[in-house]
């Protein structure tokens, strides 16, 4: 059963301006070390940062309400073949167990000026967590 759906869109130039203005202070507050390293291996790191930020926001929208979370408790990683998945820590793990959310589907895309992410959460019996 679907628990929640979230979608978010981020302007890539806006992400670039935030990084240029706030630098590592911004990056280290929003992204994990692994995410930062992955993005800066790319030709255009701001595109990869933007879709990861969109993924974090989309997950928060899909969940609906969870108090005082850290964006670093949500990590976007790529598995075999490049498929993006979410690794969750902290309050998200507790929330998912309490609400029996067993699957997280993530789709990322970007085109010219924008990065977009969609998250679908499935509820059911507790199975293997992320």
pLDDT in tens, 92-106: 888 899 999 999 999
Listed in sequence order, the DSSP H helices in 64-103 are: 91-98
Q: Is 110 a catalytic residue?
A: yes
Can 61 be counted among the known catalytic residues? yes
Mean pLDDT (whole number) for 80-89: 93
Domains and CATH numbers, the chain: 2-123 (3.90.470.20)
Q: Are 55 and 119 in contact (CB under 8 A)?
A: yes
Helix (H) or strand (E) holding 108: strand 101-111
pLDDT digits (tens, 9 = 90+) for 52-81: 999 999 999 999 877 778 899 999 999 989
Q: Is residue 124 very low, low, confident or very high in pLDDT (cuts 50, 70, 90)?
A: confident
Strand, coil or helix: 1 = coil
pTM: 0.91
Question: Residue 129 and residue 108: Cα distance in Å, rounded?
Answer: 21
Alpha-carbon span 104 to 87, nearest angstrom? 10
Catalytic choice (21, 72, 83, 110)? 110
Q: Could you report the per-residue pLDDT of 2-54, keeping only the tens digit for each?
A: 999 999 999 999 999 999 999 999 999 999 999 999 999 999 999 999 999 99
Residue 130 CB partners (closer than 8 Å, separation 6+): 85, 86, 87, 88, 96, 104
Q: Which of 21, 42, 61, 83 is catalytic?
A: 61
Q: What is the pLDDT of residue 128?
A: 46
- Cα–Cα distance measured from residue 80 to residue 107, given in angstroms and rounded to the nearest whole number: 15
Residue 76 sits at φ, ψ, to 5 deg, of -95, 120
């Amino acid at each position: 059963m679907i628990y929640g759906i979230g979608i978010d869109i981020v302007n890539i130039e806006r992400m670039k301006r935030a990084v240029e203005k706030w630098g590592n202070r911004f990056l280290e507050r929003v992204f994990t070390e692994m995410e930062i390293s992955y993005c800066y291996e790319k030709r255009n790191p701001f595109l990869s940062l933007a879709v990861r930020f969109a993924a974090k926001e989309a997950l928060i929208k899909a969940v609906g309400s969870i108090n005082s979370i850290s964006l670093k408790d949500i990590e976007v990683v790529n598995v075999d073949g490049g498929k993006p998945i979410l690794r969750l820590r902290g309050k998200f793990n507790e929330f998912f167990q309490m609400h029996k959310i067993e699957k997280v589907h993530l789709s990322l895309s970007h085109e010219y000026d924008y990065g977009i992410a969609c998250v679908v959460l499935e509820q059911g019996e507790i199975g293997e967590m992320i």
